[in-house]
Amino acid sequence: MDTRAQPITRRDVRTLLLAALGGALEFYDFVVFVFFAKVLGGVFFPPGTAPWLATLNTYGIFAAGYLARPLGGIVMAHFGDKVGRKRMFMLSVVLMALPTLGIGLLPTYAAAGAWAPMLLLVLRIVQGVAIGGEIPGAWVFVAEHAPRGRVGFACAVLTCGLTFGILLGSLLATYLNHHYAAAQLAAFGWRIPFLVGGVFGCIAVWLRRWLSETPVFEEIRARKALVEGLPLAPVLKDHLAGVVLSMLATWTLTAAIVVVILMTPTLVQTKFNLPAAVAFEGSSLASLCLCIGCVFGGVLVDRLGRGWAMVLGSAAMLVATLALYMDLRSGGAHFIALFTLAGLTCGVVGVVPSVLVGAFPAAVRFSGISFAYNVAYAIFGALTPPLIGLIAATMGALAPAQYVALAALAGIVVGLLLLRRPVLDARA
Q: What is the pLDDT of residues 47-58, one digit of tens each?
A: 877 777 777 777
Annotate 88-100 with b (16+ C-beta within 10 A) or e (fewer): bbebbbebbbbbb
What pTM, to 2 d.p., does this model score?
Answer: 0.77
Would you say residue 2 lies in a domain? no
pLDDT of residue 160: 87
Would you say residue 34 lies in a domain? yes
Would you say residue 423 lies in a domain? no
CA distance 65 to 48: 26
Q: Structural domain of residue 374, as residue ranges?
A: 10-418
pLDDT of residue 423: 53
pLDDT tens-place string over residues 210-220: 766 666 666 66
107 in the Ramachandran plot: left (φ > 0), alpha (ψ -120 to 50) or beta?
beta
pLDDT of residue 428: 44
Start-to-end CA span in the chain (Å): 15
Would you say residue 383 lies in a domain? yes
Calculate the CA dihedral of residues 78, 80, 82, 83 and round it to 10 degrees. Answer: 140
Give the list of residues 6+ apart from residue 204 with CB closer than 8 angstroms, or none: 21, 22, 23, 25, 26, 93, 96, 97
pLDDT of residue 320: 97
pLDDT of residue 300: 94
The segments of the chain whose pLDDT lies below 70 read 1-9, 12, 78, 80-86, 89, 211-231, 392-393, 421-428
For 218, phi then psi, to 5°, come to -60, -40
Q: In CATH, what number is assigned to the domain containing residue 136? A: 1.20.1250.20
Would you say residue 425 lies in a domain? no
Would you say residue 213 lies in a domain? yes
What total number of domains does the chain contain? 1
Would you say residue 424 lies in a domain? no
Would you say residue 339 lies in a domain? yes
